Every structure is written in C-alpha cells, then in structure tokens.
Amino acid sequence: MKKKKKKSRILKKLFLFFMAILVVSGGWLGYQKKKQIDAVKKWDAVVLKAVEGNGIPDYKNLVLAIILTESKGSQTDVMQSSESKDGSISSIKSSKESIDYGVSFLAKAITKAENQNCDVWTAVQAYNFGLAYIDYVAENGGKNTTKLAEKYSKKYLAPTLGNTTQKKYRYLHLPAILYNGGYLYKNGGNFFYADIVKINEFYLSLF
C-alpha cells in the first residue's frame, strides 16, 4: 500500500513538473509571437494605403499575415518582394517599396484567381509559387489544397528550377510535420505557404 502511495506521489509530481514546463514554454512562445505581431502591425497604415490603392481593401489583414510569414516584420524587404520583382535577393531597399510591390503582385494574383473561379488561397499560394500556379489550380478543381500544391511543387516547379530528382530537405514547421514529417522539395517553393499564412492570419486576430 505504501509503495502505491509513493508511486502515486511521484507520478503526481512528474505531472505537475511537465505541466509547469508546458505553461512556461507556452508563455515564452506567446511572448515571442506577440513581439513579432507588434513588429508587423507597425506597417498597418502603409499596408492599408497599399491595399486601397490596388483595389483590394478587404485584404489588409491577409497582407499583414503574409508579412508575418515572410519576415515577421523585422527585415527591410518585409514582404520578400525582391525575388518576384527582378529575380534577385534583397534588391529592394525600403520596406515601403517591398509592401507596394508585394501588394501589387498579390492584387494581380487575386484578380487572376477570381477571373478563373479559384479561391483566394490559390492566390496566396501563387504569391510563393508564381502566377502560373493559378492556371494549374483552375484546371484541377479551382481550390487550393496542400496535396495539389505539393503535386505542383514536385512535378512542375522544382524540375523547372533544376531539381529533376525530387530531392527533399527538412522543413520543421508544424503543418509540415503533421502532413509529411516535415519536408519540402528543393527549388520547389513552399507548398505549405497558404496554410501558414492562414495560421498567421489567425494569430493576428488573437493579438
């Protein structure tokens, strides 16, 4: 009887210890996420002007979620627009230029997606893949899914950019871990991109 009580006390202490770790870890992660969101929201006024100027005023929070995904608001090229603008990295030298170009590109993607009866998440995934992805989705049901994005990444995007052997690399982000253990195709963009933006849009609504 004494052994059972002792075992019960030990299990209770272990449970409380792990719960304390979870609480502390959760608090730290929440604090870090709040810092990132504060850094993103300082661009609120610039983003508002950009979305209104490009005819997509209802998508301000979506743009902020893209900024959170791309740079957490902490880099000059906050929307990582340089590559889509001219194919180089860090050619954009101001955050306003990054937002103006990024929102302009997103507006084109949204318009193209609407014209082809695709959902807005197709346009968001196209922000990462390029506008040709919208044509692909339009021919395959009109709705972005992780499975469809993976197929495009594997069979079209990666080979076009030199990965003809379906080489993969680790990508330890929760949606990826849950979906396939955590990997992407080299040169194949991020086929979890729309999922991650969606999660970040939810985080923005919480804070």
- Gyration radius (Cα) of the chain, Å: 21
Residues 102-130: what's their mean pLDDT?
98
Is the pLDDT confidence value at 139 over 90?
yes
Give the model's pLDDT for residue 133: 98
d(CA 107, CA 121): 13
* Interval 153-178 mean pLDDT: 96
What is the domain partition of the chain in residue ranges?
A: 42-206
pLDDT above 70 for 98: yes
Q: ∠148-149-150 over CA atoms, to 5°?
A: 90
How far is 126 from 106, CA to CA, in rounded Å?
Answer: 8
Cα distance between residue 146 and residue 154, in whole Å: 12
Q: Enumerate residues 6+ apart whose C-beta is below 8 A from 134.
A: 109, 112, 113, 116, 118, 122, 123, 126
CA proximity to 184, closest of 197, 165, 171: 171
Q: 205 with 164: CB under 8 angstroms?
A: no
Residues of the chain with pLDDT > 70, as a percent, come to: 82
pLDDT digits (tens, 9 = 90+) for 17-48: 444 443 444 444 565 778 889 999 999 999 99
Q: Topology of domain 42-206, per CATH?
A: Lysozyme (1.10.530)
Lowest mean pLDDT segment, chosen from 6-15, 43-52, 100-109, 158-167: 6-15
CB burial class (10 A; 0-12, 13-18, 19+) of residue 151?
middle
Q: Identify each DSSP E strand in the chain by its residue range.
A: 168-170, 183-185
Q: How confident is the model at residue 153 (pLDDT cuts 50, 70, 90)?
A: very high
Q: Which residues make Cβ contacts (< 8 Å) with residue 153, sequence separation at least 6?
A: 129, 184, 185, 188, 189, 191
Q: What is the C-alpha to C-alpha distance for residues 81 and 98, in angstroms, rounded to an integer?
A: 5
**Confidence tier at 12 by pLDDT (50, 70, 90):** low
How much is the pLDDT for 22?
A: 39
Nearest to 176 by CA among 201, 194, 152: 194
Q: What is the mean pLDDT of residues 144-153?
A: 98
